[in-house]
Every structure is written in structure tokens, then in C-alpha cells.
Amino acid sequence: MSVQRQSRADSAAKLRPVEPEVLAGRYLVLHEIGMGGMARVQLGRVLGPGGFVKPVAVKRLHPHLVGDPGFVTLILDEARLAARVRHPNVVAI
């Protein structure tokens, strides 16, 4: 079995720039990572006090699903479950 690694340049080349947008007063969204049937994932930065900046992935429901309580519950449940995962190979939420 072989394992292929992508270089940072290869990964960055697949990102699609978006119009910079600040969400909830602290998340600066810069690039589109991917999109599915329910949501899209964007690369951004969390902006904190004293110039603190940390890269983040932001998952956003598609606009037509935001008003559907079932989908909102689904994505919140997903976030709660993912936040409980603790492993060195899994990004923290």
C-alpha cells in the first residue's frame, strides 16, 4: 500500500477565493474548500484580541436550508458530536 501526500502548494491551488466576509464579528472567511448537498466548507481565520489569528474551517448551511429547523438541528448535533472527539489526528472544534 502506498501513501501519497499532497504538498501545501497543491492543496492551496484547489482553494477557490471568495469575497472576504466577517462572520459573527470574529471569523474572516477567505476561500471555499468544498461544497456538499447540505453545506459548504470555507477556510478562514478567527480574529482574537491583541492580533491573535488562527486558521479555521467554517461549515455553513446552504441559504435555502437555514430556515429549516430540522437541518439546523442536524448541523448543530454534528458540531456537538465532532467537538467531543479527542485524537491527535483529528482537528479540534
β-bridge mates for residue 46, sequence order: 27, 54
The CA distances from residue 72 to 39, 44, 87, 92, in Å, are 11, 21, 26, 21
Q: Which residue has better confidence, 62 or 3?
A: 62
Q: Residue 50 has what pLDDT? A: 92
The predicted structure's pLDDT at residue 5: 57
Domain boundaries, the chain: 8-83
Assigned fold of 8-83: Phosphorylase Kinase; domain 1 (3.30.200)
pLDDT in tens, 65-82: 999 999 999 999 999 998
